[in-house]
Homo-oligomer: A and B are copies of this chain.
Amino acid sequence: MGTARLETFADGVFAIAATLLILDVTADARGDELGHALAHAWPSYAAYAVSFLTIGIMWVNHHACMAQIGRADRTFLFANIGLLACVAFVPFPTRLVAEHLHDDGLRAAALAYGITLTVTSVFFAAVWFYAAGPRRLIADTADPRVVRGISRSFRPGTALYGGATLVALASPTASLVLFTAIALFYVVESSIFAPRGD
């Protein structure tokens, strides 16, 4: 079984989940207060930007993994469906964080956001290590160094997100800074997926 339709389906879910994030950006205000309301709605813009970037990173990484994978079996398809269900879940905790940035609900919202990303990283690792474990679904043409590089890059993911989630118990604000930092880290740290330095 090839991977073409899985990629189409996955690209669709990534694209829709990212685009639906805009539905959570709102600014309801009377006309003369709209400028003020828009200026104070910055948490929802920041939540939109970080979540769009996070989904974008997951899409780039899914892209990089699938480039090494030559075929799919049913277990792999269902592991991907679990991963995509997590990705499509991201708009919900994103909305919670944006809504509760200035009230007592921020701890619960940051925990919900962190748990979602931690579970997502577990599914992502499961998808990859199922395929790569005994080179079960790896394409014959795959470069072993790239496969090892991807395997190495998956190791810290769950710990990073899980750690930032635990920080939310002590300081929700600190955890949100960490989630943003992890996203930026993955953007900058291109070497893990590109051993040739791009």
Q: Which residues of A contact B (CB under 8 A)?
A: 1, 5, 7-9, 11-23, 25-27, 29-35, 38, 48-49, 52-53, 56, 59-60, 63, 66-67, 73-75, 77-78, 81, 84-85, 88-89, 91-92, 96, 100, 103-109, 111-112, 187, 190, 193-194, 198
User: Which of A38, A67, A194 lies at the interface centre, i.e. has the most chain B CB atoms within 10 A of its CB?
Assistant: A38
- Whether A27 contacts B96 by the Cβ 8 Å rule is yes
- Whether B35 contacts A108 by the Cβ 8 Å rule is yes
Q: Which secondary structure characterizes the binding site on chain A?
A: helix
Instruction: Count copies of this chain in the complex.
Output: 4
- Whether A32 contacts B104 by the Cβ 8 Å rule is yes
- Cross-chain contact of A9 among B14, B48, B75, B103 (Cβ < 8 A): B14
- Whether B78 contacts A187 by the Cβ 8 Å rule is yes
